[in-house]
Structure 1
Amino acid sequence: MKSALAVEHLQELVSIPTVSREDAETTDWTEFSRFAGALRKLYPLCHSRLERETVLEHSLIFRWRGRSSTEPSALLAHYDVVAAPPEGWKRPPFAGELSGKGDDQLIWGRGTLDNKGSVVAILEAVESQLEAGLVPAQDIYLCFGHDEETHGTGASAIVDLLEQRGVKPVLVLDEGGAIVDDVFDQVDAPMAVVGVAEKGTAMLRLTVDQSGGHASTPPRMTASVRLAQAIMRLNSRPFPAHLTATGSDLLHTIGIHATGFTGFLLRNVSWTRPLLVPVLVRKSDELAAMLRTTQAVTMLEGGHAVNALPERVSAIINVRIAVNSSMAATITHVTRAINDKKVRITVESPGEPSPVSPTSGFAWELLRSTIEKSFPGTIVTPYIQNGATDSRHFTRISRGVYRFTPFAMAREMRDTLHARNERMLISSYLDGINFYRALIASL
C-alpha cells in the first residue's frame, strides 16, 4: 500500500538526527550526509529525472523542468532539526515510532512537524507524480535548507544562486501556518492560516560589567541585581499592540463565519478595533503575539564561582519584530524600558520584518483554491507568521512568498514544536501529501 510506504519513509528519515547547532563545528555533518543518501534511495525518480544540486555542502535544490520556465514556483522545507534531549519524552525522539490506530495513529519524533514532515510529503508527492508521467506547465524548484534552525545560510545561498540565474518564482511556499480549529472559538470550521509575511527576528544582549569581589561582602547593587532589574522593567513594558491590515483581514474573515455579537464586532473591525485589540491580547499568547513585537529572555550568563561576585552578567532577549515596526523602533523601546545606562544593549543577528505578500492574484488564488479542494470546509485566511523561516530570504526574488504547512495541528501538537514529544497524526501527514500532489498538478 502506497500510504504505508510513505509512512515507512518518514519513519526512516525522522530517525536520522540531523541536529543543527549554533556552532557549526559541533554539528555532526555525517548525519546530514546520511540523510541525503537516504533520499537518493527512497526517491529514485526525483534523483534521476530532476536536476539536483548541493549548496554549501548540505542544502539541496531540485529543478523539475516544466513545459515553460517563464513563471516557476518553489516549494521549500528544511531538514535540520533542533536538539532533542531524550529526558521527558514518551517515545524516543529519533526512533520514528508509531502509536495508536486508525485516525488516531501518530508518528513520534523530532522533525515530524518541524520540518521533515514537509520535506518528505513534498518528495512523496513529486515521486508519485513523476511515476504518473506528469510534466508540469512551469518549472518547479524544490529547496531544502540544512540550517534553518540556526543561521539560514543554506537558504540564503540557494537564493543567491537562483538570483544569479534570473529565476523569479511567482509562488514560493514554505512552512508556517497550518490547519487549526482551536485558535478562534467563535468559528466551528477548521481554518487554514496562511502566512503572508513574517516578523523580524533579532537577538539583543543585555550586559552589565561591574567590579567583583567576595560574596561575603556584596554591595547593595551587584551586576546580577542590576541585570535582573533591567529584565523586570523590560518585562513590565510590553510592546504596544496594533492591528495591521493583515490582522484586520484575518478578523474580518473570522467574523464572516462567526455568529452573535462577536461576529458583528469582527465583521466591522474597521471601526471596532479599539475594542477588539485589548480583548485579543488578553485572550491567548498566540493572539497577543500576532498583534505586537514580542520579547523573551532565553539565556542568562554570569558568574564563575559560588562565593564570588560576577564581574560580567548578560542576558539574551529573543525579539520578534512586528511587520508594522522595525529594528530601530525595537531598540528604542528596549532602551527606554530598561532606562539604565549601565546596562549595555548590543544587537546580534538583526533581521527586519519581511514584506507582505499579496492576497490577490495568481499565486494567492492558486494556493487558496488548492487548500479549499484538499481540505473541504476549511476557511482560508492570511495572517502574520510569528516564527522565522527560510522563506524570508526568498522575498529577494519573489513577491508571492507564503508560509503554510498542509497539516492539521491541534494546540497540543503545536505546543510540541521545539519541545518534548513532538508528533503528528498519520492521517494529517497523508493529507499533506495529497495537498502537494494537487498543488503540483496545478503549477
Structure 2
Amino acid sequence: MTPVERFRELLAIATVSRFDPVDVDDQPFAAFHAALERLYPLVHSRLEREVVAGRSLLYRWAGKTDAAPLVLLAHQDVVPVEGQQWRHPPFSAEIVGEGADRTIHARGAIDDKGALVAIFEAVEQALADGVVPRTDIWLALGHDEETRGTGAQAMATLLAERGVRPALVLDEGGAVVEGAVPGVAAPTAMIGVAERGVATFDLVTREAGGHASTPPAMPATARLARAVDRLRRRPFPLRLAPPVRAMLATAAAHAAPPLGTVFRHGRVTAPLLTRALARVGPETNALVRTTAVVTRLEGAAGDNVLATVARAGVNVRLLTGDTLADVAIHLRRAVADPLVDIELRHGGEPSPVSPWRGEAWRRLSATVSATLGHDVVALPYLQLGASDSRFYTGLTDAVYRFAPFHLTRAERDALHAPNERIRVDVWLRGIRFYRALLES
C-alpha cells in the first residue's frame, strides 16, 4: 500500500468523540487501533506501546542517549458531522482532482489525522531505513481532544510520574499560510507558542414560572435575552499580548513599509495595532482580546410553560494575561443585572508562553525551512483554539503547536465544518517535515 492509501483507510474510520462519554461508539476506536497495528508493523514491533485512559495510545521509541526526548502529539478523534451538507461523504476519503490539485475529502483530513498519519509514516520509513534516534521519541495519541482531553491529561501525568522532561513537545496548531499577517507577502509558518484559555460560563435567570398565557412584565427569558445582548455590546478590552507582539516583531523584517516599522515598535504602536487588528476580521480580533459568545440557550420544557430557569452558555477564550477571575468580573459588569447569576461551569487558564528563541525554536524553524520551503517565514503566534498540548506545559517550557501543511483560507475554514480536505502533495510534504524533525 502507498502512504496515501493507508491515510485514506484510517480517514474512513469514524472515530467521533462526543461530550458525553456514554454516547461514544467504542468500535471505531478499536478498529482504528487495529488498523494502525496492521498498517505500521515496524512501529508496533520496535516501539513500546501502551493504552492509556481506555483509548489513548502512548508509544516510546528508544534513543541512543538519555538526553531530553522529543514528544509528538496527535489525536485520533474527530468532531461529528451530523447536520452538515458535504459534497463528498465525510468518511469515504474520496480523492478529487488531478496533479497538484488532487485533494482528499474527509473528516479529520486536517484535524487531526493528517498529522497523526504523517507522523506514523515518518517513523515507519525511518525504522525501515535503520534510523535510531539520538534521544527517545514519544508519540502520544489522545482519544478525546475534541471534547475533554482526558486522554492527553492522563498521558502527560504518566510521563511526569516517570520523570520525562522533553526538550520539545509538538502538537497540532498553526500551519503554513499566506496573508495571515497584514503586509507580509511571504508564506508564514504559524507556530503556536501559547494558546488561549477556554471556559464555559452560564448566565442564569430564575422566576416562579406558571402558564404562558399570563406572563410577567419581565420573564426569565426576556431578562436573559437582555443580558446576552448587553454582553455582545460590551466586548473585552483590546490588548497586545506578548505572543502577538512577538509575532508582529518577527514579521516586521518581511512586511512592506510602513507596516514593518509599525510592527517593529509594538510597545509604542499597540493602541493603533490592536484597533486595526480588531477590525480586520474575526481571527485577528481574537488575537487582541478575550472573546465571549453565547453558544447555547435553554428555557422552558414546553411551549405553553413559563421558564422557571433560563440559561445561556457563554464560550469564553481567554487572551494570554487574563484569568478566569477577570472574566467573571467583566461578565458581571457587562450584564449589569444582579438578578442574572453568573456561574463557571468549567474552564482553564491560558497556557504559559513558550520561548520563540533558543534551541527548541531553532530546531523547529530550521526543519520548516529545510522541508517546507526556504521562503517560508517561521512566526511565533498565539493559537486561538485549545489543544491537547495544554496538558504538557508542566513537563517543559518548549511546547509548540504547528502542523506542517500549507493550507489555503478555504481549507482552514473547513475545519469542524463541511468539506474538510487536504491536498495530497501538501500532506506528503508533511511526512518529510516529521522525518526531518525526528532525525534533527
The answer to whether the 8 A contact 1:194-1:381 is kept is yes
Which residue of 2 is the match for residue 433 of structure 1? 431
Which residue of 1 is the match for residue 418 of structure 2? 420
Give the partner amino acid of 2:315: N
Q: 2:75 aligns with which of 63, 75, 78?
A: 78
Counterparts of residues 134-173 of structure 1 (less than 5 Å): 134-173=131-170
Q: Secondary structure of the residue that 1:391 maps to in structure 2?
A: helix
The answer to whether the 8 A contact 2:176-2:404 is kept is yes
1:187 aligns with 2:178: no
Q: Secondary structure of the residue that 1:36 maps to in structure 2?
A: helix
1:91 aligns with 2:88: yes
Which runs of 5 or more structure 1 residues have no equivalent in the other structure?
Answer: none
Report how far residue 86 of structure 1 moved: 6.0
Q: Let me know the Cα RMSD of the aligned residues.
A: 1.1
Runs of 4+ deviating beyond 3 Å = none
CA distance in 2, matches of 1:66, 1:239: 48
Which residue of 2 is the match for residue 122 of structure 1? 119
Counterparts of residues 7-26 of structure 1 (less than 5 Å): 7-26=4-23
Which residue of 1 is the match for residue 384 of structure 2? 386
Which residue of 2 is the match for residue 395 of structure 1? 393
Q: Which moved more, 1:115-124 or 1:77-86?
A: 77-86
CA distance in 2, matches of 1:362, 1:267: 23
Give the partner amino acid of 2:344: V
Q: Secondary structure of the residue that 1:292 maps to in structure 2?
A: coil
CA distance in 1, matches of 2:334, 2:3: 51
Q: Secondary structure of the residue that 1:303 maps to in structure 2?
A: coil
Q: Secondary structure of the residue that 2:347 maps to in structure 1?
A: coil
Give the partner amino acid of 1:420: P
Which residue of 1 is the match for residue 406 of structure 2? 408
The answer to whether the 8 A contact 2:69-2:166 is kept is yes
Report how far residue 308 of structure 1 moved: 1.9
1:299 aligns with 2:296: yes
Which residue of 2 is the match for residue 333 of structure 1? 330
Q: Secondary structure of the residue that 1:126 maps to in structure 2?
A: helix
Q: Secondary structure of the residue that 1:434 maps to in structure 2?
A: helix
Which residue of 2 is the match for residue 44 of structure 1? 41
The answer to whether the 8 A contact 2:299-2:307 is kept is yes
Give the partner amino acid of 2:246: D
CA distance in 1, matches of 2:123, 2:433: 11
Which runs of 5 or more structure 2 residues have no equivalent in the other structure?
Answer: none
Report how far residue 185 of structure 1 moved: 4.1
The answer to whether the 8 A contact 2:241-2:319 is kept is no
CA distance in 2, matches of 1:209, 1:132: 66
Number of equivalent positions: 439
Give the partner amino acid of 1:80: D
1:308 aligns with 2:305: yes
Q: Deviations over 1:342-397 (max 9, x none)?
A: 21111122101111111122111101111111122101110111111101000111
TM-score normalised by structure 2 residue count: 0.98
Which residue of 1 is the match for residue 261 of structure 2? 264
CA distance in 2, matches of 1:373, 1:270: 33
TM-score normalised by structure 1 residue count: 0.97
Change (3 A) 1:239 1:87: closer
The answer to whether the 8 A contact 1:79-1:144 is kept is yes
